[in-house]
Each structure stands twice: as structure tokens, then as C-alpha cells.
């Protein structure tokens, strides 16, 4: 019987981190999950794994270099997935210094620690399509010009290049997963997709009457988190480290997401008005179900993201199994049953 694979996952309590934890436990890994300490002591996304003998939860802050040094020296991981981040774009405009600490400086420190104490560890960096930013060309991928348009996106681009540099300069196994928007039932409710699915479910239950949103015309390439986590694993298990774009190749607006979500509770939304005065009404009753609030606009918008995953499909055989309509249905049905 071979040596058990040891894997560190930062941000293990998040959507991607918890899905990755479950998938790698199924593959026989010993998982060291790192996440922030929470006073309530409960991590809802980890409820399926907390009692698994191959799962260890280490609470701490990835910006604490001494803490991370202890983790790497103690566990000498075979794999290190860095999924921890301040990942809400609007929040990055509010606390940019903290976002740089978590999303960039902590990555630099981790790479340095791995180089010093465990250079054979394979390192995965969670990169983001937000790095593409104002570049609105079609079929965006890792070769596209990146024009980040938020503090969050800038921090992710810096970490992207640090990861690439450590691969090239020190011959370390470092990969970037440049992931387009991916969602699921574990997505936090501050993100617009989950905000919509939760609101639609609550409207169906009679708990609220409408949902307030920002820019309805922003377009994103939305995929399913479980599919995208599979792509992460493929990147780390291949022989040659590289950077990959992960996307569905379909772009839809927030307006389309809203329409599709309401269809699952039997409502067709019709739009009237313009900009901040626009509303979405139930076509049958005329009741306003969606309005627009300037509070939810970004200071600098990213209008369109459209990914091209040709490279990972050809080299690693990955392809998305869940597309837009199925994803929206899955999220709404989950929140209806919650």
C-alpha cells in the first residue's frame, strides 16, 4: 500500500474548498483544511466531512506567515490548493488593503515557504476571469490581454503572475486555474446568482415581494462549481504544470439569469423603464418583482466575460457537464426546498 497523499486546502469552508475537500477525500487523500476561526464553531459547507478521519480542520489566517510556515513544515503536503481569498468584488473597493494582504501577499509568502520547506509540493492558485476585466473580446483565455477593473481583479492578476514566475524561475509545480464564474447551492448569498435564486424562492414562499439588483446587463459565463473543481484536480494531477482557462463558452446577462430563475416558479418577467427606473413585473399580475438600486452597481463595471476552455479540453479532457439553464434550475430548486 502506497503513501497516503497529503493535501492542504485553504478556504476549505467555501463553496469550491468544501467541494474539493469531499472529492479528494473520496480519492483517498488526507486533507488539511485551513479556514478562518468562527465564533459559532460551525462550517455549514463542511458538515459532510467534519467527522471523516482523513480530514483535519486547522483554523488560522493565511496572512500570518508564521502560522502558514507551521502548516507547511508540519504536514509537508503533496498538494497545496490555495482557494482562500476575499472574493467579493464590491467588497474589494471598500477594503482594498486587506484584499491585497489576503489575495496577493499571502500567496507570495506561501510560494516562498513552499520553496524553502517543501519545494516538491504541487501548488494550485485560484485565479479569476475578473482579471480579463475591460477586455471584451470573445473567446477569452490565458493568452488574452488582461485589464483588471477592480482591486480584487488586480490582486488576482498579481498572484497569477507570481505563480507563473515561481514555476518558471524555480522549476516548481505551480498552476493557475483561470476560472470563469461558477456557481452552486453552496454559493454565499452576497453573490448575485445566489441572491437571485434565494429571493425567487422566498417570493414563491410569500416571504418577500421583490429583489433589488444592480446592473442587469452585465454578462457572465456561468458554470457549475462541481464541474470546475474537477478541472482543478486535473490540472494538479497532470505531468506538466501550466495555466488553464475554465469556462462553459456561453455568456448570459444577469437579466437572463433573473428571467430563467423566475420561470421555475411559474412567473414570466416583463421589463419596463430604463436604467435606475427599470423594473421587472410579473406578466400575469403586474406586481413588481425586480427593481434596480444604485447601491449594487460597481464603481467600475466589467461588462462582459466569455471564456474559452479549448486548451484544457484538448490537453486534459475536461468539458463542462452543466450548462446555464440547468445550473439556474438547480439553484432555485435547492432554495425552494431549503
Query: Do the domain assignments include residue 10?
Result: yes
Query: Do the domain assignments include residue 330?
Result: no
pLDDT score of 43: 86
Q: Concatenate the DSSP letters of all residues of 162-175 into one string.
A: HHHHHHHHH---EE
The answer to whether the CB of 141 falls within 8 A of the CB of 307 is yes
The model's pLDDT over 86-141, given as tens digits with 9 standing for 90+, comes to 988 999 999 999 999 999 999 999 999 999 999 999 999 999 999 999 999 999 99
Retrieve residue 34's grid coordinates.
Answer: 485551513
Give CA–CA dist 217/257, Å, rounded.
Answer: 10
Query: Do the domain assignments include residue 333?
Result: no
The answer to whether the CB of 83 falls within 8 A of the CB of 14 is yes
Q: Residue 52 belongs to a domain with what CATH number?
A: 3.40.50.720
The answer to whether the CB of 175 falls within 8 A of the CB of 123 is yes
For residue 59, what is the enclosing H or E element?
Answer: strand 55-59
Query: Do the domain assignments include residue 329?
Result: no
Q: What is the pTM of this model?
A: 0.94
The total number of structural domains that make up the chain: 1
Give the β-pairing of 6-10 and 79-82.
parallel
Q: Which domain holds residue 55?
A: 6-184+222-250+303-322
The answer to whether the CB of 78 falls within 8 A of the CB of 7 is yes
Retrieve residue 328's grid coordinates.
Answer: 439556474
| CA-to-CA separations, 302 to 85, 177, 180, 218, in angstroms, rounded | 20, 20, 13, 7
Mean pLDDT of 209-217: 96
Query: Do the domain assignments include residue 202?
Result: no
Q: How confident is the model at residue 300 (pLDDT cuts 50, 70, 90)?
A: confident
Query: Do the domain assignments include residue 52?
Result: yes
pLDDT score of 1: 57
Query: Do the domain assignments include residue 22?
Result: yes
The answer to whether the CB of 167 falls within 8 A of the CB of 121 is no
Query: Do the domain assignments include residue 16?
Result: yes
Amino acid at each position: 500500500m502506497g503513501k497516503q497523499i497529503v493535501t492542504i486546502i485553504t478556504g476549505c469552508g467555501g463553496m469550491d474548498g468544501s467541494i474539493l475537500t469531499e472529492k479528494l477525500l473520496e480519492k483517498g487523500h488526507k486533507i488539511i483544511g485551513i479556514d478562518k476561526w468562527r465564533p459559532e464553531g460551525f462550517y455549514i459547507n463542511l458538515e459532510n466531512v467534519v467527522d471523516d478521519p482523513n480530514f483535519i480542520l486547522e483554523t488560522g489566517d493565511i496572512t500570518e506567515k508564521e502560522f502558514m510556515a507551521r502548516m507547511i513544515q508540519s504536514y509537508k503536503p503533496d498538494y497545496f490548493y490555495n482557494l482562500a481569498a476575499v472574493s467579493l468584488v464590491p467588497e474589494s473597493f471598500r477594503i482594498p488593503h486587506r484584499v491585497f494582504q489576503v489575495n496577493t501577499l499571502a500567496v507570495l509568502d506561501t510560494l516562498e515557504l513552499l520553496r524553502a520547506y517543501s519545494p516538491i509540493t504541487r501548488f494550485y492558485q485560484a485565479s479569476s476571469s475578473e482579471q480579463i476585466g475591460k477586455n471584451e473580446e470573445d473567446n477569452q483565455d490565458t493568452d488574452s490581454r488582461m485589464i483588471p477593473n477592480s482591486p480584487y481583479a488586480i490582486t488576482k492578476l498579481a498572484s497569477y503572475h507570481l505563480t507563473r514566475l515561481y514555476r518558471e524561475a524555480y522549476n516548481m509545480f505551480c498552476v493557475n486555474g483561470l476560472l470563469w464564474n461558477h456557481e452552486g447551492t453552496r454559493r454565499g448569498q452576497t453573490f448575485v446568482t445566489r441572491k437571485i435564486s434565494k429571493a425567487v424562492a422566498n417570493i414563491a414562499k410569500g416571504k418577500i415581494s421583490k429583489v433589488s439588483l444592480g446592473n442587469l446587463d452585465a454578462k457572465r459565463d456561468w458554470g457549475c462549481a462541481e464541474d470546475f473543481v474537477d478541472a482543478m484536480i486535473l490540472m494538479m494531477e497532470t505531468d506538466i504544470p501550466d495555466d488553464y482557462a475554465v469556462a462553459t463558452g456561453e455568456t448570459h446577462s444577469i437579466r437572463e439569469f433573473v428571467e430563467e430563475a423566475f420561470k421555475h416558479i411559474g412567473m414570466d418577467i416583463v421589463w419596463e423603464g430604463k436604467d435606475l427606473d427599470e423594473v421587472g413585473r410579473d406578466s400575469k399580475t403586474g406586481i413588481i418583482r425586480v427593481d434596480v438600486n444604485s447601491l449594487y452597481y460597481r464603481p467600475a463595471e466589467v461588462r462582459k466575460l466569455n471564456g474559452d476552455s479549448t486548451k484544457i479540453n484538448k490537453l486534459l479532457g475536461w468539458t463542462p457537464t452543466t450548462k446555464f439553464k440547468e445550473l439556474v434550475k438547480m439553484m432555485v430548486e435547492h432554495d425552494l426546498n431549503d
